[in-house]
């Protein structure tokens, strides 16, 4: 399923792209991770980096990783390789984005940060009620981005859709992912359905149709058919019981 998205979401006609990260956890919350697993990726905090086209609403790529620079760079290089032409890019104010965007796009991007300001901010992932919003500032990082379109509202709304669609992303839940592999499979399925199988209310077609990636709305049967079937294992010989 991921391979189909990876293959088809190329040379996209996106003009305005928004990026954000969404927090979740696998196996246990970070504060409850056993000492012997503290340095093991896939246990505790896990971040999903998400890009979204503001016009077609397609999600061209996502990346599951930690929240470090290497993860940001990998994500941005993936995004840059999927675009057909120069884009206007908006990210949040997270500092690792600046160098990651520079490394990935090499200056061939109109890039701005939307830096949101909160009262008494202690980290969004540590809180279950939002901090008081105190405003935002726009900071141009490269090129000439249109000030009217320096925004992350669409990708933030997509993050909400993600949390509402997958209970494993709910902050207070017992349905959290127990294995990183299953977590990533669930995300891949979510975005496959979102891009190809769901009509976007503002478009009246799917994001993939709006972006010219496909010519029809994919059915659930088509999406399910992408999942490879496991080959049945050969049964061993039966052990006969001695009834004598």
> What digits encode the pLDDT tens for the residues 16-25?
999 999 998 8
Decide: 155 and 75 in contact? Cβ < 8 Å.
Answer: no
Name the band, by pLDDT with cuts 50, 70 and 90, for residue 128. low
d(CA 52, CA 154): 7
Q: What is the pLDDT of residues 10-68, one digit of tens each?
A: 999 999 999 999 998 888 777 877 787 777 787 778 899 999 999 999 999 999 999 99
Enumerate the β-bridge partners of residue 49.
21, 63
Entry pTM? 0.83
Local structure of 102: helix, strand or coil: helix
d(CA 226, CA 215): 18
Residue 116 resides in a domain:
yes
Domain that holds residue 63: 2-224
pLDDT reading at 241 higher than 70: no
More confident residue, 122 or 181: 181
**Lowest-confidence range among 45-49, 202-206, 238-242?**
238-242
Q: How far is CA 73 from CA 9, 86, 102, 186, in A?
A: 19, 18, 9, 23
Listed residue (73, 86, 92, 63) closest to 16, CA to CA: 86
Structure token pair of residue 191: 């975005």
Structure token pair of residue 38: 């503290």
Residue 242 resides in a domain:
no
CATH number of the domain where residue 136 is located: 3.30.420.10
pLDDT reading at 2 higher than 60: no
How many Å separate Cα 110 from the centre of its chain? 22
d(CA 28, CA 10): 36
Domain count, the chain: 1
pLDDT score of 72: 97
Residue 164 resides in a domain:
yes
Residue 91 resides in a domain:
yes
pLDDT score of 67: 92
Residue 232 resides in a domain:
no
Q: What is the pLDDT of residues 217-237, one digit of tens each?
A: 999 999 888 877 766 666 666
Residue 237 resides in a domain:
no
Decide: 103 and 142 in contact? Cβ < 8 Å.
Answer: no
pLDDT score of 104: 97
pLDDT reading at 121 higher than 60: no
Residue 230 resides in a domain:
no
Name the band, by pLDDT with cuts 50, 70 and 90, for residue 101. very high
d(CA 59, CA 210): 12
d(CA 93, CA 78): 20
Residue 138 resides in a domain:
yes
Q: What is the pLDDT of residues 64-94, one digit of tens each?
A: 999 999 999 999 999 999 999 999 999 999 9
Give the alpha-carbon dihedral of 205, 206, 211, 214, to 10 degrees: -100
């Amino acid at each position: 399923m991921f391979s189909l998205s990876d293959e088809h979401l190329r040379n996209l006609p996106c003009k305005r792209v928004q990026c954000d990260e969404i927090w979740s956890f696998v196996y246990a919350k970070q504060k409850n991770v056993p000492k012997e697993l503290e340095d093991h990726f896939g246990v505790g905090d896990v971040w999903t980096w998400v890009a979204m086209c503001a016009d077609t609403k397609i999600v061209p790529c996502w990346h599951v990783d930690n929240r470090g620079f290497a993860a940001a760079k990998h994500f941005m290089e993936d995004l840059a390789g999927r675009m057909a032409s120069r884009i206007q890019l908006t990210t949040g104010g997270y500092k690792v984005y600046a160098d990651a965007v520079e490394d990935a796009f090499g200056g061939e991007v109109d890039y701005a940060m939307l830096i949101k300001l909160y009262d008494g901010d202690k980290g969004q992932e540590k809180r279950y009620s939002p901090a008081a919003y105190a405003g935002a500032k726009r900071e141009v990082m490269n090129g000439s981005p249109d000030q009217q379109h320096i925004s992350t509202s669409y990708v933030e709304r997509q993050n909400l859709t993600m949390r509402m669609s997958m209970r494993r992303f709910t902050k207070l839940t017992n349905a959290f992912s127990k294995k990183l592999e299953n977590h990533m499979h669930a995300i891949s399925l979510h975005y496959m359905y979102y891009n190809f199988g769901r009509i976007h209310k503002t478009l009246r077609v799917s994001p993939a149709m709006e972006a010219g990636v496909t010519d029809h709305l994919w059915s659930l049967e088509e999406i399910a058919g992408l999942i490879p079937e496991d080959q049945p294992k050969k049964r061993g010989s039966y052990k006969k019981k001695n009834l004598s």
